[in-house]
């Protein structure tokens, strides 16, 4: 099954689809290893990890594309790209979708913010007219070569123009060809229930620590009928916390001997696929090079097994 078809099926299945956010290849591989069925690329995480900046529309389309392509090539589960607001008008959106689909993404987020956009949980957002967003969705739908490529239309209208406008836009975007409607930052539990109930399409909600959306459970969202939940920034925030704790420990103790909360060397080399490199070396290196590197095939076999 193509990844696009699989992602669309997961969205339409009765069970809610949980998509943690990846900010780089390592986080995407950890998401896959943890048993999640799909990955959401996080523009917030990309901006933070790649540029050390907040998500305020500074990251370019080419930078987003490169990071997304690397993730798509590194995991076997479907990846949804973050296309921001299409990086321009409907014509820009058309080419944005073509490029991200070619990079291997199974779907893309497109939002109705003006440029420069910003994280949906940061104040100061503005939105484009709904009619312009409809044209962007139509351009995106026509640009996708695969009919199952998922268009995830995000509206930021809830916090700017109110829940009624968010619902109106959600229904307009679904009619324009969006497969999934992402209502950003509902402000109450009742608001979450209303947008799920009153938008005639699969609805996505996101959750993040310190955000504007109430931190309801995934089970509650499933019971209320949400099709998908994204958890876009917990991974990058957890990584930052872990690095901060490790550095503080080193500063305080002058050693890493009893440092907890880090992967072992063997676990990390497994994560980055060292075992596959050993397999390729066994198949493609000459006997002379294997002898120089490992002292022979027995040494290569020992090196391959030493961390397992």
Q: Do residues 226 and 270 both lie within one domain?
A: no
Within a domain: 90: yes
d(CA 228, CA 16): 5
265-271 contacts, C-beta under 8 A, 24 or more apart: 265/307, 266/307, 266/308, 269/307, 270/307, 271/26, 271/29, 271/30, 271/33
Within a domain: 251: no
Q: Do residues 163 and 273 both lie within one domain?
A: no
Q: Do residues 274 and 195 both lie within one domain?
A: no
Q: Do residues 25 and 130 both lie within one domain?
A: yes
Within a domain: 28: yes
Structural domains of the chain, count: 2
For the entire predicted model, the pTM comes to 0.95
Q: Do residues 235 and 268 both lie within one domain?
A: no
Q: Do residues 193 and 289 both lie within one domain?
A: no
Q: Last residue of a domain, which of 223, 239, 255?
A: 239
CB 294 within 8 A of CB 300: yes
Q: Do residues 226 and 127 both lie within one domain?
A: yes
Within a domain: 82: yes
Closest CA to 214 of 191, 236, 237: 191
Grouping H, G, I as helix, E, B as strand and the rest as coil, residue 117 is coil
Q: Do residues 44 and 85 both lie within one domain?
A: yes
Q: Last residue of a domain, which of 207, 239, 271?
A: 239
Average pLDDT, 10 consecutive residues per value, the chain (308 residues): 97 98 98 98 96 92 97 98 96 98 98 89 90 98 98 96 97 98 95 98 95 94 98 97 97 96 93 93 94 91 78
DSSP state of 186: -
Within a domain: 247: no
Within a domain: 255: no
Closest CA to 107 of 133, 62, 68: 68
For residue 75, the domain's CATH number is 3.20.20.60
Could you give the residue ranges of the DSSP H alpha helices within 144-188? 157-161, 163-176
Within a domain: 246: no
Q: Do residues 196 and 231 both lie within one domain?
A: yes
Within a domain: 149: yes
197: Cβ contacts below 8 Å, ≥ 6 apart: 224, 225
Q: Do residues 196 and 47 both lie within one domain?
A: yes
Q: Do residues 27 and 149 both lie within one domain?
A: yes
Domain that holds residue 123: 3-239
Q: Do residues 234 and 268 both lie within one domain?
A: no
CB 68 within 8 A of CB 101: no
What is the model's pLDDT at position 307? 61
């Amino acid at each position: 099954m193509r990844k696009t078809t699989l992602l669309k099926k997961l969205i339409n299945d009765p069970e809610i689809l949980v998509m943690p956010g990846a900010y780089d290849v390592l986080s995407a591989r950890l998401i896959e290893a943890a048993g999640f069925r799909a990955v959401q690329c996080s523009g917030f995480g990309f901006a933070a990890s790649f540029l050390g900046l907040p998500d305020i529309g500074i990251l370019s389309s080419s930078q987003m594309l490169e990071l997304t392509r690397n993730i798509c090539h590194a995991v076997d589960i479907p990846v949804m790209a973050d296309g921001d607001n299409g990086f321009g008008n409907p014509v820009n959106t058309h080419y944005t979708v073509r490029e991200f689909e070619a990079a291997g993404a199974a779907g893309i987020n497109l939002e109705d913010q003006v440029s420069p956009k910003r994280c949906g949980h940061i104040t100061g957002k503005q939105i484009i007219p709904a009619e312009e967003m409809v044209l962007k969705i139509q351009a995106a739908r026509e640009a996708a070569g695969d009919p199952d490529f998922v268009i995830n239309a995000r509206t930021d209208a809830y916090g700017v123009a109110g829940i009624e406008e968010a619902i109106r836009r959600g229904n307009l975007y679904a009619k324009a060809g969006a497969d999934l409607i992402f209502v950003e930052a509902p402000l109450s539990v009742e608001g979450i229930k209303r947008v799920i109930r009153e938008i005639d399409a699969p609805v996505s909600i996101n959750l993040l620590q310190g955000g504007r959306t109430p931190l309801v459970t995934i089970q509650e969202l499933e019971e209320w009928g949400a099709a998908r939940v994204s958890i876009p920034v917990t991974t990058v925030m957890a990584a930052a916390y872990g690095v901060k704790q490790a550095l503080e420990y080193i500063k305080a103790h002058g050693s890493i001997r009893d440092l907890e909360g880090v992967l072992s060397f063997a676990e990390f080399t497994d994560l980055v696929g060292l075992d596959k490199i050993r397999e390729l070396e066994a198949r493609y290196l000459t006997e002379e090079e294997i002898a120089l590197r490992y002292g022979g095939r027995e040494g290569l076999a020992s090196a391959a097994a030493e961390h397992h």
